[in-house]
Amino acid sequence: MTKQYIVVHQSRDAEPTEYENLLADALELAFGAGVTEIEGVVDSLIADAVPAPKGQTWTTDLVLSELKRLGA
């Protein structure tokens, strides 16, 4: 018997929020522009004026914690 594979977004319990979609779009733009390091992701989020949680400023630690929180 083969193991079943479920893509993570197939098992979510709600549609992504506006914030999650905005963050995902910004990450896609950054990676599409060739960004490969977390510092570049931070710079890109700041340059694209993506709002950070609780009005904070994007930092390496904040990006990593948000990605972990969102299960990315």
The string of pLDDT tens digits covering residues 36-59 is 999 999 999 999 999 999 999 999
More confident residue, 2 or 52: 52
Answer yes or no: is 2 within a domain.
no
Identify whether the C-beta of residue 49 lies closer than 8 Å to the C-beta of residue 63: no
The model carries a pTM of 0.79
The boundaries of the domain holding residue 54 are 8-70
Least confident of 14-18, 43-47, 58-62: 14-18
Number of folded domains that form the chain? 1
Identify whether the C-beta of residue 8 lies closer than 8 Å to the C-beta of residue 24: no
Answer yes or no: is 53 within a domain.
yes
Answer yes or no: is 1 within a domain.
no
Among 2, 54, 44, smallest CA distance to 23 is for 44
Answer yes or no: is 43 within a domain.
yes
Answer yes or no: is 3 within a domain.
no
